[in-house]
Structure 1
Amino acid sequence: MTNSLKKVALRGAFWTIAGYGSQQILRLGSNLILTRLLVPEYFGLMALVNTIRIGIELFSDYGITQSIISNKRGDDPLFLDTAWSLKVIRGFQIWAISILLAYPIAQLYQAQDPQGQLLFLLPITGFTAVLEGAASTAVLTWERHIEIKKIMLYDMSITIVTLLILVLLCWWHPSVWSLAIGGVASSAINMVASHFVNRKHHNRFRFDKEILKEIQNFGKWIAVASSMMFLADQADRFILAKLLSFERLGVYTIAYTLASIPRSVIQELSVKVIFPTISKQLDLSRLQLRAKIVKQRWLLLVGTAVFLAGLTVCSDWFIMLLYQGRNKHWEQYQDATWMMPILCSGIWFSILFYTTSPTLVAINKPMYSAQSNFARLSIVGLGMPLAFSQFGELGAIVVVAMSDFPLYVVNLYGLKQEKLSCTTQDVYCTAFFVTTLSLLLLLRYSLGLGVPIHVLLQGS
């Protein structure tokens, strides 16, 4: 890595963590307000709706974003316009599929949603795909050149405005419809704003056959990988929506979202910094590329290990601090205190995965990502119903917590096949994480403060 590229990557990492962290604080603040206005059932219902919407989007992923970032012609106005035209068409396709699926989905979850709200929520939230598809490619160009400061300032501005609108809507009319309309408003604001950030080039409809072929060839495995990723990441919501009430799903969603903060930060780094940085170094030999990855990965893994261990040990206090005070719905949210530490403890293997998987995509081997996510999907799809039948809600959540391990193992195989393995580093850092977690748990217990899952132990 040249010094200039290294500086760009480090700057990008700083702005990614700072910007994403700030956005999460804002979202957390709005969530605290919303949980005092809305019952858990609404969050559970919207969790299912958003899961379906995201699923449709990922099943129709053409790899447009990755193409703009990694393709040598990614700055060519003709390439950008062709990609944007595909985005617009895809947005309408997603909305049409959302409308077509609304009735069968409403019938499938009729027992959990007797009022039939899903029938109308899916088309409303599906319209966000049209708005997102029409958004300018300017922000993707920033990603291509690792201009993370611009992206984060832009995202922060959009986040502040949209969260304010969402909170006002829910205060004015506390219902699930306000959550849905708030999501549409967010996409509309982003779409309009994106066309004002680059005055040099404005996207317009035009297609180039050669560029279309390039995007399709690159995107065919991206589509499979994205589909598998969706099924692996979101299968738990589909299954729990059938096994539990929407109220319990809402509690789980809050615990899962907070537990996933370290994973989400690493995913942002993976997409916005690691992938574009590696894409610019593909002229190196595999040995040189691997050496650079290992060198840059040490500090990231050690820092994340300390943060994740601390979050796991303190997660029940975190939930109580955020949701207990003056919350009339606290009894309904209380079980998130034992769910979160269990979910946190299993995230480590996804950290290992997301710090190396962009390498395989960058060298045009996204099939490994598809295989990794298929392995995770198999564990979740088969293990959750079985664990629930034997051990109830606890069993299902333990399966979710452990489901990142097969994801990591298959990715490890892909790295070894491509001579990019970081196994020794993974072993050392995993030992460090386990040791740190054990010491913090021992310290908490020795101080007479119990363990993070004390609510679960009292219940048993």
Structure 2
Amino acid sequence: MTTQSLKQRAVSGAIWTIVGYGGSQLLRFGSNLILTRLLIPEYFGLMAIINTLLAGIHLFSDLGVGQSIINNKRGEEEDFLNTAWTVQIIRGFIIWGICLVATIPIAHFYNDQRLLSLIPIVGFSGVIDGFQTTRYHIAQRRMELQNFILFELLVQTIAISCLVTMAYFQPTVWTLAVSSIISTMVHTFFSFLFFPGPNHRLLWEKEALHDLTSFGRWIFLASAMMFIAEQSDRLILGKIIGLPTLGVFTIAYTLANMPREILKTLSYRVIMPLVAQSLDLSRLELRTKILKQRQKLLFLCIPCLAILVVGGDRVIALLYGHRYIQATWMMPIICVGLWFSILFQSISETLVAIGKPSYLAPAQFIRFLAVAIGIPTGYHFAQIPGAICALAMSDVPLYLTNLFALAREKLSPIAQDVQMTFYFIVTLGLLLLVRYQLGFGTPIDNLWLVH
């Protein structure tokens, strides 16, 4: 593939990724807006615990099948894809089995008998998900994302339509559980329609399995640590602040997390394949190429994140009403801390692409320590605001550890990060000043009303 063709695919992939993410968030936002009027906050708290558990099991059993297909030279061979599909199916049953084993301890820990039925139901989605076609990853490998994005948006539209309809007629937590099964079934079914090819068959080719597991063991460790780091906050908060407040926090976190999620998506779907196909360059040339593209991403993120910090509370107050007033002050605090996550997410997949995923596991473990120690400590000294502030700053050690790894690989972005952080602070300061001068106070004014 020529450099120009690669660049065109990267640009097209980035555009389609942003369009897809924007469309996905609009659908999710619209559904959340409707569901918060049909369902009580406690249900969202319950599902946050279940989804966190399920995400953890997924990540703890992640062998990097998708990443292997994208990076491996045999990624489009039928024997490799069929072996990957077989591994994927086995993993799906393992996920459900772990859910069944974990059900009683989790229900006892949170003292909620509803979890005894909810966890096995939602966990079965892992079995269904295991049967989706592995050709779905080839579109990402080739950075041909138009069909991929249209597939994701169609599946999400169908799933959300089913969820909202069910919630209207049956506004219970069981609706959320059953809808997760329906969503996974739709995703698996349409994956074969959108990405056709020879029929998959069960296969256990030793060479392909070796390639999958040798690369996958580092992805497994990194994914396990990522769960511990990124999902344990909700498990800890759910125990400390209670399910209703956790449901409110989930609304704030979902909105605040949008810049990070789009960067994670861009990193996986565009940056990693782009770097993987540019490994013939010297480290100096590769670093220059990466930082040039990264700078464009960060310039887009700066105003988006600053606007979320300054105006997110007004959006929540307008759309979600008094029941979610605590989310209005949580969101800007979370958003400020996300800046360090954005710096991390915009370059971390580079380490995977150059074959060095081993750096990511210790980085995520250090973030977990920041969460596990910081949230209870923050709550002890300043109740819920202290816990939220500790959570917001938990990405700082993750970012610093990543800096060390990139420096060792001669890909350090430190000079660019200092420059971009300065621009972010200036942009945020100017917007806060404008807001205050217009008589709207500060984004955390409701903190003093609630506490």
Shorter-normalised TM range: over 0.9
Q: Would you say 1:134 and 2:125 are equivalent positions?
A: no
The answer to whether the aligner puts 1:439 opposite 2:439 as a matched pair is no
Q: Which runs of 5+ in 1 are unaligned?
A: 325-330
Match of 2:242 in 1: 245
Aligned-pair CA distance for 1:207: 1.3
Query: 2:3: which partner in 1?
Result: 2
Instruction: Look up the equivalent residue of 2:298 and give its one-letter code.
Output: L
Take 1:229 and 1:447, find their aligned partners in 2: how far apart are those partners? 41
Look up the match of 2:23.
22
Deviation at 1:375, TM superposition (A): 1.2
How many Å separate the matches in 2 of 1:410 and 1:121? 38
The 8 Å contact of residues 378 and 386 in structure 2, kept in 1 or not, is answered as: yes
**Whole-Å Cα distance in 2 between the matches of residues 392 and 157 of structure 1?**
42
List per-residue Cα deviations over 1:368-423 (Å, max 9, x = no partner).
11111111101000111111111100000001111111111000000000001111
Superposition pairs of residues 270-309 of structure 1, within 5 angstroms: 270-309=267-306
Give distance in 1, aligned partners of 2:70 and 2:200: 17
Matches within 5 A, 1:341-360: 341-360=332-351
Q: Deviations over 1:9-58 (max 9, x none)?
A: 01100000011111110111011100000000000000000000010111
Identity %: 48
Alpha-carbon distance between aligned partners in 1 of 2:274 and 2:147, rounded to the nearest angstrom = 17
CA contact 1:275–1:358 (8 Å) conserved in 2: yes
State the distance in 2 between where 1:139 and 1:64 align: 11
Counterpart amino acid of residue 449 in structure 1: F
1:370-389 matches, cutoff 5 A: 370-389=361-380
Report the residue type matching 1:420 in the other structure: L
Determine the C-alpha separation between the residues in 1 that align with 2:375 and 2:434: 33
Work out whether 1:107 is the aligned partner of 2:108. yes
Q: In structure 2, how many angstroms separate the alpha carbons of the residues matched to 1:299 and 1:236?
A: 31
Deviations for 1:301-356, whole angstroms, at most 9, x for unmatched residues? Answer: 011011100111001111022212xxxxxx32111000001001110111111111
SS in 2 for 1:135: coil
Amino acid at match of 1:358: E
**Aligned counterparts of 1:157 and 1:258: Cα–Cα separation in 2:** 22
**How much does 1:209 deviate?**
0.4
Instruction: Give the match for residue 192 of structure 1.
Output: 189
**Structure 1 position 197, deviation (Å):** 2.2
User: 2:95 and 2:115 mapped to 1: Cα distance?
Assistant: 16
Aligned residue pairs total: 450
Local SS of the residue matching 1:448: coil
Equivalent-residue separation in structure 1 for 2:86 and 2:341 (angstroms): 34
Post-superposition shift, 1:200?
2.6
Corresponding residue of 1:312: 309
Residues in 1 aligned to 2:417 and 2:323: alpha-carbon distance in whole angstroms: 39
Equivalent residue, structure 1, for 2:74: 73
Cα displacement (A) at 1:457? 2.5
> For residue 370 of structure 1, what is the amino acid of its counterpart?
A
Show the counterpart of 2:88: 87
Q: Which residue of 2 aligns with 1:216?
A: 213
Aligned partners of 1:274, 1:139: CA distance in 2, in Å? 18
| CA distance, structure 1, for counterparts of residue 404 and residue 122 of structure 2 | 38
- Residue 458 of structure 1: how far off its partner (Å): 3.3
Three-state SS of the structure 1 residue aligned to 2:231 is helix
For residues 224 and 270 of structure 1, what CA distance do their matches in structure 2 show?
A: 19
Once the two structures are superposed, residues 222-260 of structure 1 have per-residue CA deviations (whole angstroms, 9 ceiling, x without a partner) of 111000101110111110111122100000011001000
Give the conservation status (yes or no) of the 8 Å contact 1:341–1:452. Answer: yes
Contact 2:317-2:324 within 8 A present in 1 as well: no
Q: How does 1:168-183 map to 2 (within 5 A)?
A: 168-183=165-180
CA distance in 1, matches of 2:29, 2:238: 23
8 Å CA contact retained: 1:275, 1:359: yes
Q: Secondary structure at the match of 1:355?
A: helix
Aligned mates of 2:324, 2:299 — CA distance in 1: 32
1:399 to 380, 390, 402: 390
The aligned amino acid for 2:50 is V
Does the 8 A contact of 1:138 with 1:197 survive in 2?
no
Counterpart position of 2:59: 58
Asked if the contact 1:195–1:202 (Cα under 8 Å) also holds between the matched residues in 2, the reply is: no
Q: Distance in 2 between matches of 1:153 and 1:428?
A: 36
Matched, 1:411 2:411: no
Report the AA paired with residue 174 of structure 2. W
Per the alignment, in what secondary structure is the counterpart of residue 143 of structure 2?
coil
| TM-score w.r.t. length of structure 2 | 0.98
Which stretch shifts more, 87-96 or 131-140? 131-140
Asked whether the 8 Å contact 1:57–1:94 carries over to 2, the reply is yes
Alpha-carbon separation, structure 2, partners of 1:257 and 1:446:
29
Show the counterpart of 1:203.
200
Match of 1:232 among 213, 229, 234: 229
User: Secondary structure of 2:193's partner?
Assistant: coil
Aligned match of 1:328: none
| Aligned match of 1:455 | 446
Q: How does 1:420-435 map to 2 (within 5 A)?
A: 420-435=411-426
In structure 2, the partner of 1:367 is: 358
Matches within 5 A, 1:261-276: 261-276=258-273
Show structure 2 runs of 5+ residues with no match: none
- Is contact 2:129-2:184 (8 Å) kept? yes
